[in-house]
């Protein structure tokens, strides 16, 4: 977890020349990585329907989106699902992570295994399974079922992110609080949780963005009306593209990129290491 | 979908390099941190007579793990059970104990889709590895102070909406899209060349969708690698290529293996890429599953397909775990 900061290997390698090939591949990779995103953003401002010829700058597709009651309803539903899933998975995930790190019995290792299952299962499998479960229990598919499925799925993320943070905490601080008369619960609430706050916030933002953007699980667990925004986008893409999708897509890109960037940099706002270790190479 | 796999390898058993860190952290807790009473209770945990501390932690753990067990394990068990079921004449699923769904999957039509999915997913892994390696290499070793920024510039857009990205990619690859335009201009593509509706199109979609899962573990491995090893290779008169194949590549093999697993899992289960980039001849197992649950209304057969896919993935994971165990054993020796 501490690869980049701990190792004092900043010695410039004695390489006489730069690897031109690797740098060329990297440049081409970045071009192809951003080209599709750029295309969506560019043509969202096109005054014409065309996806190949850019005529004039126009906001008509954005206006069209904000006047489309179906898409707005979907937007509302996606926001509600993301909020509920974020809250639910945080409560269940933070407690689970605390328990998993501290609890050293057989139940703990079993729960640790269960928690890993969503991470090694393709989403289509969890989607199909959730749909069958709801159908089997005679629960009609609706906004609520999407929320339940997304919570289940997000608990693992929260737990994985927080687990390593909790394990890295110094337990002596908690012990010190208890030596000073705090109960175990008080030391948890007053010492441990505040120390975890950056990571908790970061995972909250991340979960919100992931759930809002999630397509597969939502696709299998949603009812017919309303449908989450990504599901609507999917049908729009399949059955003839309307340029409105470019506008929706651009708004979603901006939204989730902002959220992810926020999640990655929240720990730095607190001036601490922690949160998501994606950027330091795990 | 994305972090699911990114964070995956941080878990014990999945990520070989994480073991020592966590073990150290755990070992540290006991001798220094915990008072004696606590240690005794930890020992006594299995027979249920845990002390106040352990009871609190178990209690904290319960809601989350019960939820996961009920929804996740319960639903997966349902899929496994229904895979042996049948449909009645109205198309409603019926539970049962007949293996005929799996027998049906042995038919050539299904076998072809299965093999195709496997082929696409493996090809996706190979292409991701070949593209991601130079990228990770250039950033990790030559990124300088822009390292973090560059990796963020890769990671952040990958967490943006998958469908929007895939849709943009399909526009780029389309017949009158920019990529074919450039290829035609430099004479690499003829007038009739297409990418969409072909197998390369589907694989291109999968690569675009999941390559970040290859870059992150490779980058981590290269970051961790001791660069003086490369210098040593050069000092010993190894050419750049020889040094690379004898020093750099072996040192990052575990990162590459982790990346392959992380790409293979979602690529096998994907149905969006085949839907947007491919035609009827490119459907993958994910499309079949989707079809059986929506249009086809044959849930037992869909469940059997799902189980089959899980079995293939399970074998892949097993292979990966054995590989890393062996690597670890060799490292110890």
Please tell me what DSSP assigns to residue B86: E
Q: Does residue B297 sit at the A interface (CB-CB below 8 Å)?
A: no
pLDDT, position B225: 86
Which residues, 6+ apart, have CB-to-CB distance to B253 below 8 Å?
A: B327
User: Buried (b) or exposed (e) across A5-34, using 16+ Cβ within 10 A?
Assistant: eeeeeeeeeeeeeebeebbebbeebeebbe
| DSSP per-residue codes, B247-278 | IIHHHTHHHHHHHHHHHHHHHHH--HHHHHH-
**The two structure tokens encoding residue B286:** 């994910």
Please tell me what DSSP assigns to residue B94: E
What pTM was estimated for this model as a whole? 0.84
Give CA–CA dist B185/B189, Å, rounded: 8
> What integer is the mean pLDDT of A211-234?
94
What is the ipTM metric for this complex?
0.86
Which of A3, A23, A100 lies nearest to residue B220, judging by beta carbons? A3
Going along chain B from its start, the domains and CATH numbers come out as 18-82 (no CATH), 108-332 (1.10.3720.10)
* More confident position, A243 or A270: A243
Q: Is the pLDDT of residue B15 over 80?
A: no
Phi (first) and psi of residue B189, to 5 degrees: -135, 140
Give CA–CA dist B230/A19, Å, rounded: 13
Give CA–CA dist B71/B65, Å, rounded: 10
**The two structure tokens encoding residue A181:** 């008369």
Contact state of A128 with B303 under an 8 Å Cβ cutoff:
yes
Q: Which residues of A touch B290 (CB under 8 A)?
A: 124
* Contact criterion met (CB below 8 Å) for A249 and B160: no
Q: For chain B, what is the mean pLDDT?
A: 82
Quick one: CA torsion of A84, A88, A91, A94, rounded to 10 degrees?
A: -100
Architecture of A59-269 per CATH? Orthogonal Bundle (1.10)
- The domain locations on chain A are 59-269
> What integer is the mean pLDDT of B124-145?
94
pLDDT in tens, B27-51: 344 443 444 444 433 433 343 434 5
Q: Which residues of A touch B15 (CB under 8 A)?
A: 282
pLDDT, position B128: 97
Q: Is the pLDDT of residue A10 over 50?
A: no
Q: What percent of chain B has pLDDT over 70?
A: 83
Looking up tokens 């490779």, which residue turns up? B218
Q: Is the pLDDT of residue B244 over 50?
A: yes
pLDDT in tens, B188-227: 888 888 999 999 999 999 999 999 999 999 999 999 888 8
User: Buried (b) or exposed (e) across A245-259, using 16+ Cβ within 10 A?
Assistant: bbbbbbbbbebbbeb
- Please list the residues that pair with A62 across neighbouring strands: none
> What integer is the mean pLDDT of B84-110?
85
In angstroms, what CA-CA distances link A113 with A40, A217, B14, B257? 40, 21, 11, 21
| End-to-end Cα spacing for chain A | 5
pLDDT in tens, A97-154: 999 988 877 888 888 889 988 888 999 999 999 999 999 899 999 999 999 999 999 9
pLDDT in tens, B258-315: 999 999 999 999 999 999 999 999 999 999 999 999 887 889 999 999 999 999 999 8
**Chain B residue closest in CA terms to A152:** B68
**The two structure tokens encoding residue A83:** 């909020």
Q: Which residues of B touch A206 (CB under 8 A)?
A: 3
Q: Is the pLDDT of residue A228 over 90?
A: yes
Question: Using 50, 70 and 90 to split pLDDT, how confident is the model at B332?
Answer: low
> What integer is the mean pLDDT of A254-267?
85
């Amino acid at each position: 977890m501490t690869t980049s900061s701990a190792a004092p290997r900043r010695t410039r390698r004695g390489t006489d020349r730069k690897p031109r090939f690797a740098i060329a591949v990297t440049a081409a990779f970045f071009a192809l990585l951003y080209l599709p995103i750029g295309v969506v953003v560019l043509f969202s401002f096109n005054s014409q329907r065309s996806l190949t010829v850019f005529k004039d700058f126009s906001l008509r597709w954005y206006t069209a989106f904000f006047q489309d009651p179906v898409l707005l309803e979907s937007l509302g539903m996606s926001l509600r699902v993301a909020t509920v899933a974020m809250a639910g998975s945080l409560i269940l995930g933070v407690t689970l992570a605390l328990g998993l790190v501290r609890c050293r019995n057989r139940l703990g290792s079993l729960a640790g295994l269960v928690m890993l299952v969503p991470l090694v299962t393709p989403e289509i499998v969890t989607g199909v399974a959730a749909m069958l479960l709801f159908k089997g229990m005679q629960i009609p598919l609706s906004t609520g079922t999407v929320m339940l499925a997304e919570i289940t799925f997000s608990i693992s993320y929260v737990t994985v992110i927080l687990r390593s943070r909790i394990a890295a905490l110094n337990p002596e601080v908690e012990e010190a609080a208890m030596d000073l008369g705090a109960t175990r619960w008080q030391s948890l609430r007053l010492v441990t949780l505040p120390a975890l706050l950056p990571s908790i916030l970061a995972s909250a933002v991340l979960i919100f963005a992931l759930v809002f953007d999630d397509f597969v699980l939502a696709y299998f667990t949603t009812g017919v009306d309303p449908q989450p925004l990504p599901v609507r986008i999917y049908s729009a893409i399949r059955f003839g593209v309307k340029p409105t999708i470019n506008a929706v897509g651009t708004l979603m890109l901006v939204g989730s990129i902002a959220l992810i960037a926020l999640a990655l940099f929240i720990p730095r706002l607190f001036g601490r290491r922690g949160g998501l270790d994606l950027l330091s190479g795990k | 979908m994305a972090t699911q796999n990114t964070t995956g390898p941080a878990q014990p058993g999945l990520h070989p390099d994480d073991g020592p860190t966590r073990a150290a952290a755990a070992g540290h807790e006991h001798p220094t941190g915990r008072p004696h009473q606590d240690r005794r209770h930890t020992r006594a945990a299995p027979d249920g007579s845990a002390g106040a501390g352990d009871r609190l932690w178990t209690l904290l753990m319960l809601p989350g793990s019960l939820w996961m067990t009920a929804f996740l394990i319960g639903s997966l068990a349902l899929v496994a059970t229904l895979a042996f079921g049948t449909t009645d004449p109205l198309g409603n699923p019926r539970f049962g104990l007949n293996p005929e769904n799996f027998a049906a999957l042995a038919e050539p039509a299904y076998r072809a889709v299965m093999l195709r999915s496997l082929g696409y997913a493996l090809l996706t892994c190979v292409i991701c590895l070949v593209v991601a390696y130079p990228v990770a290499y250039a950033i990790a070793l030559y990124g300088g102070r822009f390292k973090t920024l560059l990796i963020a510039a890769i990671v952040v857009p990958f967490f943006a909406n998958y469908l929007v990205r895939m849709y943009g990619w399909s526009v780029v690859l389309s017949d009158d899209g920019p990529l074919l335009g450039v290829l035609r201009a430099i004479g690499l593509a003829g007038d009739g060349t297409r990418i969409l509706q072909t197998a390369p199109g589907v694989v291109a979609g999968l690569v675009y969708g999941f390559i970040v899962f290859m870059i992150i573990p490779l980058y981590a491995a290269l970051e961790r690698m001791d660069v003086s090893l490369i210098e040593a290779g050069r000092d010993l008169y190894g050419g750049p290529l020889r040094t690379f194949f004898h020093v750099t590549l072996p040192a990052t093999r575990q990162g590459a293996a982790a990346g392959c697993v992380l790409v293979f899992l979602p690529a096998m289960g994907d149905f969006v890429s085949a839907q947007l980039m491919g035609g009827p001849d490119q459907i993958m197992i994910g499309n079949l599953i989707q079809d059986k649950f929506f249009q086809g209304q044959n849930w037992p057969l869909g469940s059997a397909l799902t189980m089959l896919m899980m079995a293939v993935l399970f074998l892949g994971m097993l292979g990966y775990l054995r590989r890393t165990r062996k690597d670890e054993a060799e490292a110890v020796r």
